[in-house]
Structure 1
Amino acid sequence: MQSRSYRSDSLPEGNRILNSEWSRHRVSVQHGQSLRLRFSIRSITPAMSVSSLCYGAQAVVRPEERANVLLVQMPRAGFGLASFDDASTPMDAAHYALIDARSVAQVVYGREADMLVLRVAMERVNARLEEDLGYRPATPLSFARGMARGSPAWAAWEPVAAALAAVEASALADFPAPAMSALEGMVLSTLLLAQPHNHSEALLRPQPAIAPRHVRRAEEFIHANLRLAPATADIAAHAGVSTRALFDGFRRFLQTTPAAYVRAARLAAARADLQCGHGSVGDVAARWGFPHAGHFAVLYRRQYGEAPARTVRAHSCDS
C-alpha cells in the first residue's frame, strides 16, 4: 500500500503534484495569498485512497478532466463549498460533501480548510451496488451530496471516517492487504446502505428471510478465518448466498452487519489475549488486525467499557 507526502509553496508545483496524484484540475488562489500546500495520499486498494489536504490559502479548484470518481470530503477544520450546475453543497466539520467529479463545476476552500478526502472509483461502487441488488440497475448511481452531523448517515459513517483517519495518520509503511480489503468493504457497504441515493429503496427493501443455517455457516467461516479479516464477499461466497442476502440475514438474526460482526469477533479475540497476558497491547492489537493502537483503544473501549491497558492490569490467566 503506497503512501506519499508533499509540501509546496509554489502554485505551479502544487498543481503538478495534485494532477499527478489525482485527475487533471486547476488550482488558483485568492489574489494576494500564497499557496501553502500540505498533501498526503495513501492507497487502500487499487480503487480507493485516502488523503489529507490543506491549501493554506483560499483556493478555487476547477476540474479539467472528468474522472469517474467519488470524493467524500471530510473537513477537520475550516470550510469549503462545492458548486454544481443546480446547487451548492457546503463543507465544514459538521457537513461532509460527496462530490461526483463528473458533475462538479468548482470547489472553493477557505484558507483554514483542512480536509480528509476519500477518493473511490465509481466503477467499484457500481459493481458493489450491482452485487448487492442482484441485478444491474437501469439508471446511474447518484448519491445525496451532503451528510450532516446528527443524521443517520453521519452516525453510520462516523466509525468509517475514524478508521480512514487512523490509516491516513499511521506511521506504518504498509498494512496487511486483507485488512485494507476489509476497510474497502466497510466503506462501500456504509456508503450504499447509509447514505441516501437513487437506489436506496430497492437496496433496503426487505428480502425473503435467509435460512439460519446460512448465517451459522457465515459465523463459522468468520471464526475459522478471523486473523485473515475475511471480506464480506468471501463470507457470502462461503455461505452460498449473495452479499445482499448475507447483510439481510445478519440484520435479521444477529442485529449487526458482517463487517461489524468480524470487528467485534476480532476485538473479543484480542481481549482474550490481553486477559491471558499474551503480549503487549500493541502486539495484541496488531495480531488481530488493528495496526493503529489508538484506533484499537477507541474501538475496544466502545465494546468493553474499559481501556485495553486496564484489562491487562485487571486480569490474568493461570499458566
Structure 2
Amino acid sequence: MIHPLHQTYFSNYSVLRTSDLEEARTRVSQKFCDHRLDLADRTARLSVAHNAVRGTHLSVNYLSYGAEVMVDPGYLGAFYLFQIPLSGKALIRHRGDEITAHARAGTLLNPDRPTRLHWDAECSQLLFQIDRTHLETVASALTGAPLPGPVRFDMSVDFSTSNGQKIHRSFMACAKAVERGVLFQRPLSSLDAQVEFDLVQTLLTQQNSNISHIITRADTAARPRDIRRALDYMHAKLGEPITITDIAQAADVNIRTLQKSFRQTLGLTPMQVLRNARLDTAHYLLMARCNTPSVSDTAYSTGFSHLGRFSSYYRGRFGHRPSEGPQP
C-alpha cells in the first residue's frame, strides 16, 4: 500500500513562492499553459510553492497551493500531464470523466481534452509535464508505424494494480533521482534522454490507451539477423551518442520488439548491451601497455559524456576504477 508522502521535492529549484492569486496564475501559466485560478473561499490565504526541473522533453514539478483552489486550464494543447498526489486530494474532470485523485490514484491528462481541477487545501502533487511530440515519437517507435491519430490515455492511474505500481515506481524513481541531483543537471546527458524515453514507454505500455492494441500487435519477436544488425550497428557507433530509436531503425524492427528479443536472447536490454560494449572497449584501451590514453579521453571516445558515471559503471564491471590496474 502506498502511503501519502509529505516531502517537498526539488526545493533547490524553486520557481515560485507567493500568496498572491494573480501572480500564482501568471507564473504557473508560464510553466504550463494559460488557465483560470480561483480560491474556493475568497477569505482563505494562498501559499503557493512551485519547484521545477526541466529535461529535454519533459519537466518534473512539485506544486502546492496551500489553499482550496479551482483550476481551469481548458485544453493542455502541447503536453500530457501525469499527476501523482503526495498529500490531500484533487477532484479531476477530464474528457467527460470525473475522479478523485489521492496518494493511491493518480491521473494522466490528455492534451486534446478539456480539464478542470479542484484541489483541496492539503493537496500537493508531483506533476510530470510530457511534450506531446515526444510522446508521439516514442509511440511511433514502439508500434513501428505512423500513428493513426492522437494518443489518448485512460485518465485514472490506479497505483494499487500491477501496471499502476510499475508506473508509480518508475516516475517516483525519476523524482528521487532529480532530488539527489543525479538527473536533469546541465549539461544534459544520454542518461537523461534514456530516462525520458523509458518513462514515456512505461506509460504507453502500462496505461491503457487507444493505441494499446497496436503496441501489443507490434510486440513480435525479432529474427536473429535483426539482432545481429543491431549489434553490428552498436559496435560501429560506440563513440557516438546513439539512442534506442537509432538501434531499432538500424535493425529494421520496432523498439518494443528489439527490447524483448534482447532480453530473451541476451538477458539484457539493448542499452545495457551497448554500455557493456563501450566499457569493454574502454577497458581494452586503458590496459594497453603503451600509449595508454587518459581516462577522460577514453571515456569520451567510447561514448561516455559523464566521467563520474563512467567511473562507477567501469568499477561495477571490472572491480576497480579506470585509473587503477586490476586488483591482485
If the TM-score is normalised by the length of the shorter chain, which range does it land in?
Answer: 0.7 to 0.9
Question: What 5-or-longer segments of structure 2 have no aligned partner?
Answer: 1-12, 284-294, 296-305
Secondary structure, in 3 states, of the residue corresponding to 1:35? Answer: coil
Aligned-partner Cα distance in 2 for 1:255–1:317: 26
Q: What TM-score comes out, normalization by structure 1 length? A: 0.74
Q: Which residue number in structure 1 is paired with residue 45 of structure 2?
A: 34
Secondary structure, in 3 states, of the residue corresponding to 1:147? Answer: strand
Shift in Å, 1:15: 0.9
- Match of residue 249, structure 1, among 254, 261, 278: 261
Secondary structure, in 3 states, of the residue corresponding to 1:188? Answer: helix
Q: What TM-score comes out, normalization by structure 2 length? A: 0.72
Does 2:218 align with 1:209? Answer: no
Aligned-partner Cα distance in 2 for 1:289–1:221: 23
Does 2:187 align with 1:178? Answer: no
Write out per-residue CA displacement over residues 261-283 of structure 1, whole angstroms, 9 at most, x where no aligned residue: 469959x99xx9xxxxx9xxxxx
Which AA in structure 2 matches 1:231?
A: T
Aligned-partner Cα distance in 2 for 1:117–1:262: 32
Shift in Å, 1:64: 5.0
Q: Which residue number in structure 2 is paired with residue 195 of structure 1?
A: 207
Aligned-partner Cα distance in 2 for 1:215–1:69: 34
- Match of residue 70, structure 2, among 54, 60, 63: 60
Secondary structure, in 3 states, of the residue corresponding to 2:55? Answer: strand
Shift in Å, 1:206: 5.5
Write out per-residue CA displacement over residues 185-227 of structure 1, whole angstroms, 9 at most, x where no aligned residue: 1112111111111111121126553122433554576688789
**Mean CA deviation greater in 250-259 or 158-167:** 250-259
- Match of residue 98, structure 2, among 59, 83, 88: 88
- Match of residue 51, structure 1, among 28, 49, 61: 61
Does 2:173 align with 1:169? Answer: no
Write out per-residue CA displacement over residues 139-159 of structure 1, whole angstroms, 9 at most, x where no aligned residue: 432111111123232232234
Aligned-partner Cα distance in 1 for 2:31–2:149: 30
Q: Which residue number in structure 2 is paired with residue 147 of structure 1?
A: 157
Two-structure CA RMSD over aligned residues (Å)? 3.9
Aligned-partner Cα distance in 2 for 1:118–1:36: 21
Which AA in structure 1 matches 2:45?
A: S
Native 8 Å contact 1:40 1:51 kept in 2: yes
Q: Which residue number in structure 2 is paired with residue 306 of structure 1?
A: none
Q: 1:153 to 1:254 in 2, by over 3 A?
A: farther
Aligned-partner Cα distance in 2 for 1:81–1:70: 18
Shift in Å, 1:256: 6.1
Write out per-residue CA displacement over residues 155-177 of structure 1, whole angstroms, 9 at most, x where no aligned residue: 32234213321344245852533
Which AA in structure 1 matches 2:51?
A: S
Aligned-partner Cα distance in 1 for 2:174–2:152: 23
Aligned-partner Cα distance in 1 for 2:115–2:136: 23
Write out per-residue CA displacement over residues 19-68 of structure 1, whole angstroms, 9 at most, x where no aligned residue: 111110111122121111111222111x3211111111111110156423
Does 2:25 align with 1:23? Answer: no
Secondary structure, in 3 states, of the residue corresponding to 1:205? Answer: helix
Q: Which residue number in structure 1 is paired with residue 288 of structure 2?
A: none
Q: 1:188 to 1:175 in 2, by over 3 A?
A: same
Aligned-partner Cα distance in 1 for 2:219–2:52: 39
Does 2:156 align with 1:156? Answer: no
Percent of aligned positions that are identical:
21
Secondary structure, in 3 states, of the residue corresponding to 1:193? Answer: helix
Which AA in structure 2 matches 1:242?
A: N
Q: 1:33 to 1:223 in 2, by over 3 A?
A: farther
Native 8 Å contact 1:70 1:122 kept in 2: yes
Structure 1's consecutive aligned runs of 4 or more residues displaced over 6 angstroms after TM superposition are 223-229
Q: 1:17 to 1:243 in 2, by over 3 A?
A: same
Q: 1:231 to 1:152 in 2, by over 3 A?
A: farther
Native 8 Å contact 1:147 1:154 kept in 2: yes
Q: Which residue number in structure 2 is paired with residue 283 of structure 1?
A: none
Shift in Å, 1:179: 1.8
Question: What 5-or-longer segments of structure 1 have no aligned partner?
Answer: 273-277, 279-285, 297-302, 304-310
- Match of residue 8, structure 1, among 11, 14, 18: 18
Aligned-partner Cα distance in 1 for 2:274–2:172: 14
Q: Which residue number in structure 1 is paired with residue 292 of structure 2?
A: none
Aligned-partner Cα distance in 2 for 1:200–1:290: 36
**Mean CA deviation greater in 105-114 or 61-70:** 61-70
Which AA in structure 2 matches 1:16?
A: T
Aligned-partner Cα distance in 2 for 1:112–1:210: 50
Q: Which residue number in structure 1 is paired with residue 144 of structure 2?
A: 134
Shift in Å, 1:317: 5.3
